[in-house]
Amino acid sequence: MQAKPSQVLIVDADEAFRKSLFKAIRRAGYEAVPAHDESEALQQMMHREFPVVIIDLWPAGRAAINLVQQIRAASPSSHLVVITPFAAEEFCAELRQLDIFECIRKPVKLGFLREVINRALSNAAD
């Protein structure tokens, strides 16, 4: 019997980018679960555990920080990977204080994102 692929939750309001991430994650051999907003993400998290959660933050700021805090509270063991269009190092530093796994700035290279997911899953298995 083959093991079920690891599940990755994708939280992104931009439908086109969310679909691109979904396809790239599926091609990498993982089960991708899309959520278009915070409410949908939290609802998904009530039903299952996600070892990796990818959050595309737009706009950055207090609402984005609140979203990360809520997801962290709902799933303390998940590895959070945050994608942001902002290059502000202070913003990523604030997110790292919330125990995120990685802060990636746009534009995102899908190959690099797959590497980050693989590292996160390796850390989750340790």
The pLDDT-based confidence of 125 (bands split at 50, 70, 90) is low
pLDDT in tens, 26-39: 988 899 999 988 88
> Could you tell me the residue range of the domain that residue 112 belongs to?
7-125
In the chain, the number of structural domains is 1
Side by side, the strands of the sheet bearing 102-105 are: 31-35, 7-11, 52-56, 79-84, 102-105
Q: Which element (helix H / strand E) includes 119?
A: helix 110-125
Please give the Cα distance from 17 to 21 (Å, whole number): 6
The predicted model scores a pTM of: 0.88
Residue 82 lies in a domain: yes
The pLDDT-based confidence of 22 (bands split at 50, 70, 90) is very high
Report the CATH number that the domain containing residue 74 is assigned in CATH.
Answer: 3.40.50.2300
Residue 2 lies in a domain: no
The pLDDT-based confidence of 126 (bands split at 50, 70, 90) is low
pLDDT in tens, 59-108: 666 777 888 898 888 889 999 999 887 666 778 888 888 899 999 888 88
Q: What is the DSSP string of 48-115?
A: ---SEEEEE-SS-SHHHHHHHHHHHHH-TTSEEEEEES---HHHHHHHHTTT-SEEEESSPPHHHHHH
Q: Is the separation of the CB atoms in 10 and 54 below 8 Å?
A: yes
Residue 1 lies in a domain: no
